[in-house]
Structure 1
Amino acid sequence: MDWLERTAKLRQWSRSGTRAPHKPLLLLYALGRFQEDADGALRYSAVEQDLQRLLAEYGPPNRTTPAYPFHHLVSDGVWEVRTDRGPGSPGSGVRDLRETGATGRLSQDLRAALRREPALLGRIARLLLDLHFPPSLHSELCEAAGLELEPAETEGLSTTRRQRDRGMRERVLTAYEYRCAFCGYDGRIGVVPVGLEAAHVRWWAFGGPDDVENGLCLCSLHHKLFDKGVLGVGWGSPRSSEAESGGGHRILVSQRFIGHSPAAREHVTALAGRPLVGPQPGTRPVAAAHRDWHTSQVFHGEPRPATAA
């Protein structure tokens, strides 16, 4: 059976280019949970909120329910549902799924195929991402779904496998009150934050923990520049007004970064020496050990001198 072909042909409602990524999102989430527990089943009432958040952030703008894909994905041969009464989905109604104790999991044949060929999981996931979402969303969507997709160049490395904590993003964004620690950006669509991400200071691949002391809430642009070594976090003696906000942490901008446009100056070079927008009172700021790791292992060259206010 060609599982990639079956994945590419998921039955979806469509009209005039309208997006309907309900089934792909459920399948990505199920693949992530399979990585954690290959024998586990997903009780609808226990995962409904997770699935609803995925739909709210990555689905269409109209209100929808995860009950729809939970029921209808069965018809594609990649998913199965059982209730307290036995095999089979009770329908696509939220109440039906809740009251019957409905649980879902990848189909038996697909689970067997993934056990025989572990690399198949990554190929299915990447196909779903490529078919239904722009590349700019792939990394954060994998994190939100709990998926671990190893880069091709690291396949031969022998490392101890750890499980990411899917709750880190929410904890970090809450700690920083949904504001970018570098520029203060705090955009939302309705109640859903857009363009805000939880950045690891010490990279997870190099032992960085999934906790707030190793995290920064950053906008998408500054997260990318932070991971590229254009931006960093330094330490300086804060004035009293700064101690409350950034706790003495200041933004580093690499001298190697070149940008002549007004946008590059405003969004990057002008940040040099500014205090961080720190976490809310009572929350510990970035730990010195993680900050120092990023400075020595990621940040490029020497920092620019502070820019005049």
Structure 2
Amino acid sequence: MDWLDRTAKLRQWSRSGTRAPHKPLLFLYALGRFRQDADGELQYSAVEEDLKRLLTEYGPPNRTTPAYPFHHLASDGVWEVRTDRGPGSPGSGVRELRAAGAAGRLAPELRAALLREPSLLGRMARVLLDLHFPPSLHGELCEAVGLEPELELEFGPAGAERLSAVRRQRDRRMRELVLTAYEYQCAFCGYDGRIGAVPVGLEAAHVRWWAFGGPDDVDNGLCLCSLHHKLFDKGVLGIGDGHRVLVSQHFVGRSPAAREHVIALAGRSLIGPQPGARPVAATHLDWHTRQVFHGSPRPATAA
């Protein structure tokens, strides 16, 4: 059985680029727990809070529940659920799962495959990360679910060919094109650090995530410093009308550094791109606002 292919093709609810990472997050969590205890089960009532935190931090802005993936992931053949009454899930409702003492774990065939081939776990996790989350979040997400932050993925020629239908190739030129368009300075704060001629701490951020159909084009990119790239991908920062910076009201920072480097950005105009370069397309900005930015924006900060 091709577990990488099955991992890449998890069935998910989808409409107009809507993010639905519920199953991938549960799957990553289950792989992390398997790595710690290959024989253990995940009692829904015991892991519900962990899964809620993952969905809150890495899921879409709209409210959601971990009961949905706990029940539905079994349909993909990688997960099984049992209750006090025997095999099978009682349903996708929180009360049903709690009342029935529902517990889940990776499917028996998958557990056997992971024990035979330990490196398979890291390759499956990498597929989930690549297909559902931006690179800026991979390390911390691995740590959150109990996986190694640096996972090796060695498909080999045959494996790469099997997954070619679902894994697009990135355009390696995008970083240079975006940084040039924004004249090697952060579009939010203007940071432009270098060591000699080499820029440091500057990254090309996708506005609409590559994992969700975002193209490797200048009009889907921003040059951002490492801090603001991470905050942009976590939904703390966004871009509103007139290409002005949005800062989520959910963000709390009392230190002078937090006020200066984050809160004070509210309402500022983006820096760049230079004349002749394409600004971020409205369709990508709309996707980020709906699918990534959390909550309502703070009012503009007085100059």
**TM-score, normalization by structure 2:** 0.52
- How is 1:1-309 mapped onto 2 (pairs within 5 angstroms)? 1-150=1-150, 152=152, 189=248, 191=250
2:77/2:107 contact within 8 Å kept: yes
Q: After TM superposition, give the deviation of residue 193 of structure 1 in Å.
A: 6.7
Change (3 A) 1:125 1:98: same
Q: 2: CA distance between counterparts of 1:146 and 1:38? A: 13
Q: 1: CA distance between counterparts of 2:50 and 2:42? A: 11
Aligned residues: 169
Q: What is residue 188 of structure 2 aligned with on the other side?
A: none
| Structure 2 residue identity aligned to 1:7 | T
Q: 1: CA distance between counterparts of 2:133 and 2:32? A: 17
Q: After TM superposition, give the deviation of residue 191 of structure 1 in Å.
A: 4.7
Change (3 A) 1:193 1:39: farther
C-alpha offsets along residues 213-251 of structure 1, whole Å, 9 cap, x if unaligned? xxxxx98xx9xxxxxxxxxxxxxxxxxxxxxxxxxxxxx
Q: After TM superposition, give the deviation of residue 64 of structure 1 in Å.
A: 0.5
2:143/2:149 contact within 8 Å kept: no
Identity %: 76
2:126/2:151 contact within 8 Å kept: no
Q: 1: CA distance between counterparts of 2:136 and 2:119? A: 23
Q: Secondary structure at the match of 2:80?
A: strand
Q: After TM superposition, give the deviation of residue 18 of structure 1 in Å.
A: 0.3
Q: Which runs of 5+ in 1 are unaligned?
A: 154-181, 195-217, 223-261, 263-309
**TM-score, normalization by structure 1:** 0.51
C-alpha offsets along residues 75-110 of structure 1, whole Å, 9 cap, x if unaligned? 000000000010000000000000110000000000
C-alpha offsets along residues 121-161 of structure 1, whole Å, 9 cap, x if unaligned? 000000000000000000011111111255559xxxxxxxx
Q: Secondary structure at the match of 1:80?
A: strand
C-alpha offsets along residues 50-82 of structure 1, whole Å, 9 cap, x if unaligned? 000000010011100000000000000000000
1:56/1:192 contact within 8 Å kept: no
1:44/1:97 contact within 8 Å kept: yes
| Structure 2 residue identity aligned to 1:3 | W
2:123/2:151 contact within 8 Å kept: no
Computing the radius of gyration from Cα coordinates, the structure with the larger value is 1
Q: Secondary structure at the match of 1:53?
A: helix
| Structure 2 residue identity aligned to 1:147 | L
| Structure 1 residue identity aligned to 2:62 | N
Q: Secondary structure at the match of 1:13?
A: coil
Change (3 A) 1:85 1:125: same
Q: 2: CA distance between counterparts of 1:96 and 1:21? A: 22
| Structure 1 residue identity aligned to 2:107 | S
2:28/2:128 contact within 8 Å kept: yes
Structure ranking higher on relative contact order (CA contacts 8 Å, 6+ apart): 2
2:43/2:104 contact within 8 Å kept: yes
Q: 1: CA distance between counterparts of 2:123 and 2:8? A: 11
Q: Which runs of 5+ in 2 are unaligned?
A: 154-226, 237-246, 262-270, 272-303
Q: What is residue 214 of structure 1 aligned with on the other side?
A: none
Give RMSD over aligned pairs: 2.9
